[in-house]
Every structure is written in structure tokens, then in C-alpha cells.
Structure 1
């Protein structure tokens, strides 16, 4: 085994595997080890479950095979690989059905329902949960019955129109769990019921069920939800002392367990009660804290609620500007949530397409297997006939001749089926590539369209008054110069009289006005540049992809950028190192757009390297300002080949605090006036739209490396 175990139980199971012959006990050990590692090392877990499946097939241990498929399906689902998880669960379902194992069958159907629920397909989810419920009722499995009712209620609760159905299902689940005294299930179902009554403003019932849940889970992370809702209920009833006690308990548990998502929800509920009491400033502080944590854990719905609450509170205290800013931020988060829903729909369509193709391929492989079995059966008949004896020679000869014809026919059919499978695979791969490309372009187009609307509004609202500011500041500057020239001439003619105190004061005022107008002109031009950068960022690129030699393109833009940099910084000295792989494949990209990516990264590298002092005689050669550009051929985990571009500098590096923010729009570390923060954001969008990946590695004090990867798309004639 090529990995280290992580728990004493894992060590014990590894010892069993190494010391046991290939039998059912070893299969069970592989399954248990895969389950033990599921939460700590998912890839190694799947590896051991593969071993369990292979060994179960080898020794024909059907129960072990069904259980191994079941656990592996759960591991793949936890990994987010829903398509393979569904495929494996169906394999497990077939095995349980062959074994007539109703409990296993109900379990798999419930797992399938949960996966489709996570994918947003409520119809499919309900279909599988009801099938699981039917089997559980047939075999009298109370725990499974209660679990099915709870799962069905969860699906119904997604829609306001089916809240009554959800409540009915939850109550049935609670009744079953209380009957068997299932303490792990009772609090979950009770708080689900309490939440529905809370939404319906039936506070007495909500408090009752949340109290039931709290008695079993108080002090755990699950307790934060009922505590927060009970605090909101007592706040709505104007019992603020009681409300605050529940809120503080929820906050205390969240902070103690470092549960940031639950802490965000607790703070939002706390702010609602503070607002109800009229303590607006405290409510604002609670929501500001919730906003920061929600952004940190990427909890978009909670972030939206925090912005909306802040907008309302700032309006109540008369700070309408800040209220408007928070309303704009809330709208932006809503758009992100809507965009995410669109992307989920695209992934759902892609998933259904790939799953149907995989099922078609399996069907073809099953036909192939049937043909092989038919050929083997014919050979057995021939061998059996041969032992009939010499007196049946004529009969055997005829039988052999006929079987030979049948074998040839079967082989021809087998060859035809293999060719058909090969053709279907090629078509599936081509269609999948086209679907991925279309998906990337669709997402990119939606993003650019959304940003285009924003920048169009900015241009409409800011561009015209900004032009007036710039134009009139220039005119005013010229007028001041003319006034100063006229006064200078007049003062020259009146030199004998000398300057009066008023003359000196007027000269000083004119000089100050001229300096102020120069500042207005400078900042107006900078604002105009920022608006233009926003327009460039949102501009729709309609260029066509074309086969591109990345070596030539990278070399061209490096030389172009360096010459431009040297023209502006004549004293600067930067060492350039290049290493181009001659075997690099041709990549299809929008050449002009990708050139902008290289230009942005090179310019950023030269900017940070220019801040070093190469004239220092004591500077080691390793610290001399250096930019390294390399290209290389690489192969991903699926065996697909592609091209990689690496751009490295030995500058100051990027700290971990800001590394995750560098691709965000308007984020920059440059001083005010030296950067807009749109370059790397635009570069990220261009690389993704061209089907590539861009990432950054950096260590403070040692430098930064940007990696860009593209897969090569070969035609069928090239293979």
C-alpha cells in the first residue's frame, strides 16, 4: 500500500488486509477502510473501494460487491462527482435487487434522491425518495421510513407552494423517530417543523418544536439554528430580555466551535431583534460583522441578507448614501446568485447529456458481452458433440461446419459492434468538447453583458459631466495663465511704483487657483482613464479562435512589453530568461485577446522588478531583477495533452491575505493613480473564455509565478 493510515482503526484494517487471503473478510476490510478515510482522504478512500470491488468480482462475493458500490457512490457524491456517483449507485442497486436485499435497495434509492436534490432536480429527488419509502414500509424499517419522510419534507420545503406538504412529511418523520426513540433524528426533524411554523408566523408552535430540538442538541453546532429563531420570535413578541438570552447562547456556541457559517446566521438574527428594539447602531454593528464573515465563507444568501439589512438600517438613521451603497451591493449579490442558478442549469444539462451517452455506451458493451458469450456457448456445443463418438462422425462434421459458420457470423457482428462503439465514443468526445466550449462562451457572455450594463450606466452618468470638468478646467487654466501674463506686463510698466500689498495678495491667489485647477485636471483625467478601463473590460470580444503558436506569441509580446518599459525607464535593468519548448502543440485561442493577458502579466512583473536596485554592488546574482518565461508540454490527470506558460519574477511576492483577491475587479496594490485593478480580472476572464486555466503561486520575499494552461484540441486525423 502506498499511503499512510490516519487513525488507529485504519492501521488495524490495513493489517487485516495485508495478513488475510483473498476472501470475503478482506473485501469487508477494504470497504471499512474506504469508509474510515472518506472524511480525511477522499481519493485514497475511493482507491481502497476500487480494490474491494475488484476482489468481490474475483471471488464472486455479491453482498460485498453491492456494499462496496454503495460506499463508493457516497464517496463520489461527497467529492461532487454526481454523474459517476449516480452510475455507481445504479450498479449497487442492481446487485441489491439480484440479492433481494430490500434494505440495501431502499438505502440506494434514498441516496439517489439526495443526489438529485443537491443537483436541483426536485422531481427526480421525490421519485426516488418515494420509491425508498415504499420499500421501507414493506420491510418495516422504521428508521428508514422516518428518514424518507424527512427527505421528502426537505424537497417540498424548497417551494412556498408545498410548505403544507413539507410540514405533513416532517410530522410523520417525527412520529416515527419518537416511536423508536431515535435521538439523532428527532432534533433535526423538530427544528425543520419549527422553521416552517416560524415562516408562517405561528410562534407558539415554532417555539414548542424548537424547544424539543434544543433539549437534545443544546451545546452542539445544531443548536445555533433553533436558538437564533427563538431569539427572533421573542423579539417579535417584544420580550427582548428573553430574546437576547437566546441570541447570546447561539453566538456563544458558534464562536466556541468556530462555526463561521452558523455565526453569520446568528448575527443576522440578532440584528433583527436589535432593530425591533430600536437599537439601530448595535444592529448595524452586528450586520457589519455578519457581512465580513459571510464574504469570507462565500455564503451568498447570508451576504445578501446582511447588505439588505444594512441598507434599511442606514436609511432609518438618515445615512441615505450608505443605505444606497448597501442596496447596490445587495443587488450585485442577487445577480451573482441568479448567475449561479444559470450555471447550475447548464451543468444539469451537461450532466444529463453525459449520463445518457454513458448509458448508451454501456448498452453497446453489454451487446458485445452477449455476443462473446454466444460464441463461447457455440464452442461448448462443438466440444460436447466431439465426445459423442466416431459413429457420429458425419453428424459431428455437419455440426462443426454449421457452428463454424455461426462463429464467423458472430465474429463479423462482434467486429461491427466494436467499430460502432469506437464511432460512438468519438462522437461523444467531440460533442462533449463542443458543449464545454459553448458553456464557457455562454457564461463569459453573460458576465460581459452584466458588466456591460453596469459600465454603460457609469458612462451615461459620469462620462458627460466628467468631460465638462476636464474641458472647463483646461479653459480655466488657460484663462488664469492669460491673466497672469497681463498682470506681469502691467507690473513691468509700473516697476517704479512697486507692488502694493493688494497686488501681492492677488498674485498669490491666482497662483493658488492655478495649482488647484492643475490638480482638478489631473484627477479628472485619471477618472476618465478609469471609466475607459471599465468600458474596455466590459467590451464584447467577437474575435474568432485560430490555431496559434504560443511560443511565437509569448516571445513577441515579451519583446514588445520590454521595449515599451525601457522607453519609459531608461535606467532600469532587468534580466530576461526564456525557455521555449519546441514540441509545444498548436492551441486554438483568440490571439488578440490572449495577447492582452500576456501584456498585463509582463507589465505587472516589470513594475515590481523596477523597484529593485540592480546598481547595488553587493547584490547577489540570484537577487538581480529577473523575469523568466517558459513554455512546456504537459499531460493532465485524464491523459490529455496541453500547453503550459509560466511567467516568474523574483520580486517581493504576494502575501496570502491578498493572493485570493488579485483576480477581483478593481483590486490593486499599486499606489493611487498608478493602476485601475482591472488588468488581472480581465486576464482571468479571457483565459477562461478561451478554455484555459490561470493560477498564481507566490512566496513573500522570493517572487511570484503565473501559470496558464490550455488543452490541445486535435482533429481525428491527427490521432
Structure 2
């Protein structure tokens, strides 16, 4: 940037003061290890470093010393970052002293890279901005494009995609102005990398990578061609365009085969051929990826290669070998703390053990996978919090620089006033008047500076409050995310259990019905035989009576088995319905009409079963409510479930007490409204309230869980609200409840409104 907090840096007085302060802070741990450093420094130097140190000692030319210190910093930037920063500090101090702008810009550039490699992003961004200012003053477009690209890469590593794209596009614009092909290709590749993080921008990423590949091929830059080809292959792999994915991975492999970059394209090519059923070719690629990773001792690449190999083994039907491969990947992922790969290993193991019928081990691995997911979600939230704190601290640092500049200006003004006093002593009465005016102006400047300082303090306080508010919002979002993950895991587990129970349950129901019919036939035959053999009026023997009682008891038992088997079948059907993937299409829907239709339908059904029950219905529809894009049939089931539950609790309360405690009639209230959030996004709210007994606080968190019900045995499966929760989520909405014991319950459904 050209400016720091709105003030262009022309003289380096306050900037030098800040640089010295940073060096002093960084040098504190260095002083404690000074003796050790002196004893090993000569041993740690390279021949090039020794040569550069000799130049520094033997020359009196400060500009040569600056270049030598910069080269020393560059020499150690990948091996000893602290040593690199130390040498670059020396280069900056000398460059500031002699006003050597080119050397100052280059020193800031490399120091920014070193700080970024160290993970000190805040200081890295600040120093890169200083370098950008110097390059802009020098009108060095290549240096300016380079720094903008560095800033974009830092913000990308911090997870700030919008800021990263802003800097990469600025770098691309300058690179195209000066026709620097290397910088153009690099910018397009970095832009594609940012776009690839979101499924909604994969097409943009694809276009950016293709442009980068064209530029790198034009200048025959093999490292760039290899990197971009792998990125293109990865996108086509995710889109299941296997021919294109194989073509680009082959291009990358021809360049990087045998290097640290080779395991990634080899693994993806193995997975593609496995998906195509060409297992011999797939296994060859997987083995090559594993050999390279093991020879180079790159544990992260080895972990990814093992996970990919296990997928192919599973497709090949070798579940036991796939389990052994994934167990090895799991151990490696835990060792290097690769959370995403650890999650993939647990999920793969869960699926394989389920296929083998070991549901206990499958469930344990599923629980472990969910635990890792929660850790990833928490670390993502923590990263967002650190990002907010970083932006806040960066703004504070820039404010401190501005205050330092103000302080320098005030000190310079004080020196000027002292000179005026000296001259005024020889000037007489007229000069005395001039001094008085100058002192008065100086006092005004100090007051102005104090007001500015107070204003900045108030602004910092306001920013701190914003950060705290954002932190609260992030914690709330994290809790919602964890709850959603739990509900998704329960749904998957429910589907698996229901599927496995269905077949044996069918056998139980079928054979119990057949056995019941057989008992009836036996009883009928016994009755006919006795009539023929003994004649009417003949008394039954004790043995006959015992057999009749046993047959009657067996028949009664079979009736109970059949009854409860049918109940269990209904529950399983509900579980399968709960987990079933819905393929209905969303369509713009008049929510008022839909809600009114299902309220009338549910109430008529309720009245048909409970003719004496009277429930008051109140509706309050917003006529301005926009149309909502939902799956109409599925969403009708949500309304049906909530209305049925409300009528059920109101009817139970009437049956128990004759009326509600307050003396008011049982009432159901349905209303709709429009809500607009602070960002101007509109949503529709459906509110369904009853004045029933309410829900205790201790069970509120369980209301939307599968199989949880407060109804007596046989009257509910506990799947209605869980299914409703999933449907609302699938339609992009949120469902929640507000309840107070003795007052009633309100369900709130929020759905995004159609734009326009």
C-alpha cells in the first residue's frame, strides 16, 4: 500500500523508530543465547555466506553492505529464519541511514517472506506493505506485482479468500501491464487456488488454471506446468471427468515423476482406474505412489497414498486388505496430526467393518470420525477468531505508527520553537511577539494531537466491542454446526440399523401369521374330529382340555407377537422414511396458502377422531410474504407433524383437566411474517403456538432426536420431529422451539425468501 493509516511515508524517521523497536523485541531471546551463537556461528555458515561476510568487513561502501546483508538473508531464509531476519534487519538499518530506496525495498521484501514462513503473518503483512510503498516510489512494477502476490498468498494461508483474491488480481493487472509472463502465470494459478476452495467457484478455478497453463507452456516453465496440471486434474477428478483428469495428471507426472510432487497424481490416477474397474493398472499406480513416498520419507503424502489405495482395494472387493491399509494410514495421520486424513481413515474403516457385519467396530470408527470432524470445525472457528484478532491488532499497530509520526512532528515543532526563542533573544520586542504567536500555535497543535489520540482510543474501543460480538456469534455458529453434525450422524446410523432389522423382522411377522393360521386349523380339525368320534354332549377328557388350553395360549401369544411385530415394522418404516434421500424439486410456493391448507386438513382429521374436542384456531398471515422455494410435498409433512403434535397435547390436557389451567380454551395459533437481517437478507418466519402444558428444559435438546417421544408406548415412534428437522434443513431453513412449562410451546421455522 502507498499509505499507512492515511499518511504517506516520505521521511523514514518514525518508520525507523518502529523498525528499531521491532528489532529490540526480537533480539531479547537472541541476547540470552549470545554465547552459544558466537561459538557455533562460524560452523553454521555456507561458503557463500562466508564470502558475503568478508565483503561486509572489507568494504566502506554502505550500499554494497546492504546488498550483502540482503543476500545473506536470502541465503538463510529456508534454513535458519531467525538468522535470516537478523541479517535483513542490518540491511534495513543501513538502507534507512543512507536513504538507499532500492535496497530498502528488497530488504523489506525478503524480510516479509521470512516472517510469513515463520508464521508471523501480522508483521509479515506490515513489512510487505512497507516494501510495496518503496517499490511504488521507485516505480518498480515488477517488485510491486511481486509484493501484491506475496500479500495475497499470506491472506490465503490465513483463510481470508476475499482479501487474497483482491491482492492476486492487483498483481495480475500490473503483470499484464508490463507483460511479465512468469508473474502472469503465477497470479492466474494463485487465483485458481483460492477459487478451488469453494464448490460454487470451481468453474472459475478451472478457467484460471487453464490460463496459467497456457502462459507457462508459452515460456516453457516446467515447474509451473506440473503444478497447474495437477490442479486441473484434481478438479476434473472431483467432477468425475476421468479422461480429462487422467490427461492432465499424466502431463504433471511426466515432469515430476520420482520427486516429492509425484505421489499426488499417481494416487489420483490409481483411484480413477479403480473406479473404472481396471484394477491391475490402478494397483500399479498406487504402488508407485507408495514407493516414492516411502523412499522420500514424506509421511503426509504416504498417508494420502494409503487412503487412495484402500479405496481401490474396497472397490476390488478385498475388504480385509483395505482395512489393513487404512489402519496404517490412520496411525500415520495421528502421528503427523493430519486431521482431514484421519477423518477419512476412520470413515473408510467404518464402512468396511459394516460391510463385514462387524457393526460394533464400525460404530466405534464412526464415533471417532465424528470426533475428528468436531475438532476440525473447532479449529476452523478458532482460525476465524484469530483472523479477527489479527485484523484488530494490525489496525492498532498502524495507529501506533501514526502516533509515532505525530510525536515526531511535535518534537520537530518543539525544536523549531527553541530556535525561534534563540533568535528572538537578539531580535527584541517584535520578535518576542512572533514567539508568542508561535507558542500559541504549538499549543493548538498539541490540543489537536490530544483530540486525535482520544478519537483513536474511542475507535479502538469500538473495534474491540465488534470483535467480542463476532466471537459470540462464532461460538453460537460452532454450537449449531456440532448439533447438525450429531443429527446427521444419528440419521446415518438410523438408516443402517433399520436396513439390517427389516429382513429378520419380516421373517418374524410372516412366520407368526402363518403359525397363527396353523393353530386355527388345528383347533378346527380337533373340534371336527371330536364331533365325529364322540358325538354331541360327550364330556372332554382332562388331556383334551389341557391341549385346548395350550393351543389357546399359543394362539394368544402369536396374536401378541403379530401385533408387536407390526408395531416394530411401522417403526422401521418410519426410520427408513427418515433416512430416505428425497429427489423432489424445489418450486416457488405461497407459504400462506400451504400452511392454511395443511392446518385445515390436520384439524378435520383430528375432529373425525375426537368429535367432542373443541380447539380454537387463530391465523395471522402476512399478505406481503414473498414466495418461498421449497419441496412442497416434503414441507407439508413438516407442518402436518407439528400440527398433529399440538392437537395431541391440547386434547390430552382437555381430557385430563377438562380445560387449561388459566381457564382459557385450548388454542392453536398459526402466523407468518417477514424478517430482514442486518445485511438486508430477507427470510420468511412460520410460527406455530399452542397454550398446552409446555416442554421441560431438561428435554428440549432431545426433541429433534430420532426415537425421542413423550407419548405413551404405542402412540408415537419419536421420528416425526426428527424428520421435520431434516426436511427444513434440506430446504435451506432453520427450525427451533420456545417453550415454558405451564404456558405453552412455539415452533419457529425460518426459510430463505426468493430474491426479487
Question: Under a length normalisation based on structure 1, what TM-score does the superposition of the two structures give?
Answer: 0.57
Distance 2:467 2:344 in 1: 35
Residues 445 and 164 (structure 1), Cα distance of their counterparts in 2 relative to 1, 3 Å cut: closer
Q: Determine the structure 2 residue equivalent to 1:402.
A: 434
Q: Determine the structure 1 residue equivalent to 2:212.
A: 173
Which of the numbers 254, 258, 264 marks the counterpart of 2:297?
258
Which of the numbers 243, 249, 255 marks the counterpart of 1:204?
243
Equivalent runs, 1:77-476 vs 2, <5 Å: 77-373=116-412, 398=430, 401-403=433-435, 405-407=437-439, 409-410=441-442, 413-414=445-446, 417=449
- Structure with max Cα Rg: 2
Shift of 1:94: 0.7
Q: Determine the structure 2 residue equivalent to 1:667.
A: none
Could you tell me whether the CA contact under 8 Å between 1:117 and 1:155 is conserved in 2? yes
Shift of 1:165: 0.2
Q: Determine the structure 1 residue equivalent to 2:88.
A: 49
Residues 307 and 179 (structure 1), Cα distance of their counterparts in 2 relative to 1, 3 Å cut: same
Shift of 1:422: 9.8
Distance 1:205 1:302 in 2: 25
Q: Determine the structure 2 residue equivalent to 1:60.
A: 99
Residues 401 and 293 (structure 1), Cα distance of their counterparts in 2 relative to 1, 3 Å cut: same
Could you tell me whether the CA contact under 8 Å between 1:46 and 1:75 is conserved in 2? yes
Unaligned runs of 5+ residues in structure 2 are 1-33, 487-756
Distance 2:120 2:453 in 1: 25
Q: Give the alignment's Cα RMSD to 1 decimal.
A: 3.5
Shift of 1:32: 1.4
Q: Give the SS at the match of 2:77.
A: coil
Distance 2:455 2:87 in 1: 33
Distance 1:427 1:126 in 2: 28
Could you tell me whether the CA contact under 8 Å between 2:377 and 2:478 is conserved in 1? no
Q: Which segment is superposed worse, 262-271 or 21-30?
A: 21-30
Q: Determine the structure 2 residue equivalent to 1:476.
A: none
How many pairs align?
A: 446
Q: Determine the structure 1 residue equivalent to 2:654.
A: none
Q: Deviations over 1:195-214 (max 9, x none)?
A: 11111111111111111111
Which of the numbers 86, 97, 109 marks the counterpart of 1:70?
109
Q: Determine the structure 2 residue equivalent to 1:583.
A: none
Q: Give the SS at the match of 1:215.
A: helix
Q: Deviations over 1:618-676 (max 9, x none)?
A: xxxxxxxxxxxxxxxxxxxxxxxxxxxxxxxxxxxxxxxxxxxxxxxxxxxxxxxxxxx
Residues 143 and 434 (structure 1), Cα distance of their counterparts in 2 relative to 1, 3 Å cut: closer
Distance 1:434 1:176 in 2: 44
Could you tell me whether the CA contact under 8 Å between 1:251 and 1:266 is conserved in 2? yes
Question: Under a length normalisation based on structure 2, what TM-score does the superposition of the two structures give?
Answer: 0.54
Distance 1:143 1:438 in 2: 40
Residues 437 and 11 (structure 1), Cα distance of their counterparts in 2 relative to 1, 3 Å cut: farther
Unaligned runs of 5+ residues in structure 1 are 455-719
Shift of 1:177: 0.4
Q: Give the SS at the match of 1:184.
A: helix
Could you tell me whether the CA contact under 8 Å between 1:368 and 1:414 is conserved in 2? no
Residues 40 and 241 (structure 1), Cα distance of their counterparts in 2 relative to 1, 3 Å cut: same
Distance 1:426 1:45 in 2: 39
Q: Larger relative contact order (C-alpha < 8 A, sep ≥ 6)?
A: 2
Could you tell me whether the CA contact under 8 Å between 2:314 and 2:322 is conserved in 1? yes
